[in-house]
Amino acid sequence: MAGIRFNLDLFIEETVYSAIPAATKIAIRDMIRQLKAKAIKINAGQPNEEFTVKATMHKCYHDENPTKPCGPEQEI
């Protein structure tokens, strides 16, 4: 069966993200959780299973000089 597959990888500067109202951030998180709740693994239980039920975020430091490791991933 065909499905719609989402792949998001967004880097938003911390100052920009901090300026987003808390209610908006919560609404976005809740919408992602609603979609995640409907997601399934492709070919579940088979050798070619694909883990397609993942939504995480973390603090990234890749644009700093010197770079340092990213913060821990948090489930959404």
Structure tokens of 54? 């993942």
Backbone dihedral angles phi then psi of residue 42, each to the nearest 5 degrees: -80, 130
- pLDDT, tens only, 24-49: 999 999 999 999 999 999 999 999 99
> Token pair for residue 42?
């492709």
Is the pLDDT at 1 greater than 90? The verdict is no
What DSSP letter does each residue of 27-76 carry, written as one string?
HHHHHHHHHHHH---BTTTSTT-B-----EE----TTSSS--PPPPPEE-
Alpha-carbon gap, residue 41 to 71, rounded angstroms: 26
